Amino acid sequence: MAGGPLSTTAEVLAVRGVGAFSGVTLSVGEVADRHRPGQFLSVADPDPTRLLRRSVQVHRAAGPGVRPGTLELVMDPGDVLADRLAVGDAWPVIGPLGRPFALPKEPVTCLLAGAGAHAAPLLGLADRLAERGCTVHLLLGGADGSRVLPSHDVRRAVRSTTVVTDDGSMGRHGSIASVLGETVERTGAAVVYAGAPTSTLHEVAIAAEAAGAWSQAVLDGEHPCGTGLCHGCPVPVVGEDGVGRTVRGCAEGPVFRGDRVRWHDLTEKGGGR
Amino acid sequence: MTTLPFAAPVVIAAGCGGTGRELAAFDGLAGVGGFVSRSLTLTARSGAPAPRVVAAPSGVLHATGLPNPGPEQFLALELPWLVAHGVVPVASLAAAEPDQWQELVRLVAAAPGLRAIELNLQADGGLMPEGEPRLLAAVVGAARAQLPPGVALLVKLGHDPSRLVTRSRLVVEAGAEAVVLGGGVPALLPDGRPASLVGPAVRSTALRAVAEVHAALPDLPVVAAGGIRTAAEARTFLAAGAAAVQIGSALLADPTTAARVAADLRDGR
């Protein structure tokens, strides 16, 4: 870790379309240096009568095309936050928050599997894994071609990219979960890193385990405070000791080992989206 | 603040400060007068299903179900950290039955460095069945009997002004040194589960509660909570008779709120 979270005021440098998504560039100073892939940013509501914060996943904090001291975000089409943002706005943020993806100690082959905007944290991870000598394969999915996150900024870090869409308009027909097993086998990946809606992450975790790979999943849930105070983002897990417990998604997550999350409890009772 | 152990009149409210470490990451405990733990129950609780912290107009609905690791982890890992960092620690306790209360108080009463306990008797956010006055008096009396002289007994009673004066008198006669008027007003989540409404939405209700209890029991120290976010708001409560204020939901928006309010009060800002 490169230091704990900072509370600061971000400046919106750019808002632009990235396929169907909104890409946002924030100037955040040292927060960017401290950021590790998988960690998130918590933003205060611009309306001061609203106390709860909102968490946003960070796309990239470093690498080709990213200016030092800035963070790139990707938001879903129609996200109210993206609609409110304008270049030059000042935005109170806290970050980086949560635990990042754990990087392998050895230079192993990794598969990064992401659906829609949930794939955002994986692209920053691709750069970091490649720096460590890992062979990186990307598996990107989306409802249609415009909702597959563009990956050209990390093309140098990536050995192969597989694209799947629900409607078959780009790449193959299917979802990241439906082709995960065969992609793990084809690439020989030892580790799967995943970002997707909770139900898809569950399927990915099962498929990865069946194919003999470790998996880490970044949960994109609501974090009402983001700082571990409110206990509003419960995630049911199984601890290292085999005992079930409920932890805070913001503090103990948002990245979890796929075989540690009690997915059925999470999806039935809420706690993610 | 004769009987209150707080180092300054701004205290972190139960369930809103994590273990203290989460606030310290932002210097959020600087100059704060005390720290109330999340409510501890006799055995660990994982809490209610999500969603359990939900936005409401000018406030927050919470129905956390009191997630906590139980008293052993608090005593082993959390209390020593608070003491080592110079924070006045207060253990919030919650139970349903008199024998559970007694066992819980016994477990924490003699813990080194503990300066007060706060009984979460508030019916809605706590575990107590609604209203039985003799039960309240019995729980408070038994707790006082078990506490060493240097550990203050605070009792948290909620925000409902209609019954606070009666209840305050009752718990003081049973041995409480102060009452905490906080914890929100009864509310309902959109999915139909009971919740408490806290935050600026209840600030005026909380102020009324403080004024009424102070008028009826002017010698009783009153600790006030209810959507306080600024030193000016804290002063309003102190002027209405509060001996100290607790900062709770505002920490979710800004973890430095309590430190800022404490500094502004101290410096007359």
Do B26 and A222 lie within an 8 Å CB cutoff?
no
CB-nearest to A229 from B22, B51, B57 is: B22
* Helical ranges in chain B per DSSP H: 21-24, 71-73, 79-84, 98-109, 133-146, 161-173, 203-216, 231-239, 250-253, 257-266
- Token pair recorded at residue B23: 């606030």
- Average pLDDT, rounded, for chain A: 92
A271 pLDDT band, cuts 50/70/90, is very low
- Which of A229, A233, A264, A269 should be substituted to probe chain B, the one whose Cβ sees the most B Cβ atoms within 10 Å? A229
How large is the average pLDDT for residues B199-212?
96
Q: Which residues contact A35 (CB under 8 A, 6 or more apart)?
A: A58, A61, A62, A71, A95, A96
Please determine, for residue B132, whether its predicted confidence score (pLDDT) is greater than 90. Answer: no
Residue of A7, A51, A231 with shortest CB distance to B47: A231
pLDDT reported for residue A62: 85
pLDDT at residue B231 is higher than 90: yes
In Å, how far is B87's CA from the nearest CA of chain A?
17
What band does B125 get if pLDDT is binned at 50, 70 and 90?
low
A216 Cα to chain B: minimum distance (Å): 22
- d(CA B74, CA A176) in angstroms, rounded, equals 43
> Which of these ranges, A198-202, B86-90, B127-131, has the smallest mean pLDDT?
B127-131
- Cα within 13 Å of Cα(B199), Cβ side: 25
User: Is a pLDDT exceeding 80 seen at residue A3?
Assistant: no
3-state secondary structure of B198: strand
Q: How far apart are CA B54 and CA B63, in angstroms?
A: 9
A234 to chain B: which residues are within 8 Å by CB? 46-47, 49-50, 52, 67
Please report which confidence band the pLDDT of residue B53 belongs to, taking 50, 70 and 90 as the band edges: very high
What's the average model confidence in pLDDT over B251-257? 95
pLDDT for the residue numbered A226: 95
A224/B18 Cβ within 8 A: no
Give pLDDT, residue B130. Answer: 66
Structure confidence at residue A134 as a pLDDT band (50, 70, 90)? very high
Asked if the C-beta of A267 comes within 8 angstroms of chain B's C-beta atoms, the answer is: no
What domains are defined for chain A? 8-97 (2.40.30.10), 104-218 (3.40.50.80), 219-273 (no CATH)
B124 pLDDT higher than 70: no
Give A62-83 pLDDT, tens digit per residue: 888 889 999 999 999 888 888 8
Q: How far away is chain A from the Cα of B146, in angstroms, using its nearest Cα?
A: 31
Q: Model confidence over B2-37: pLDDT tens digits?
A: 479 999 999 999 999 999 999 999 999 999 999 999
Q: Provide the residue type at B119 as one letter.
A: L
Q: Which of A97, A231, A241 to mutate to test the interface with B (most CBs of B within 10 A)?
A: A231
pLDDT at A30: 96
What integer is the mean pLDDT of A133-137? 97
**B192: contact with A, CB 8 A cutoff:** no
How far from the centroid of its chain's Cα atoms is residue B88's Cα? 14
Does pTM top 0.90 for this prediction? yes
Check if the beta carbon of residue A124 is closer than 8 Å to that of residue A99.
no
In chain A, residues 185-244 whose CB comes closer than 8 Å to chain B: 221-222, 224-225, 227-234, 236
**A1, A8, A45, A51, best to mutate vs chain B, most B CBs in 10 Å:** A51
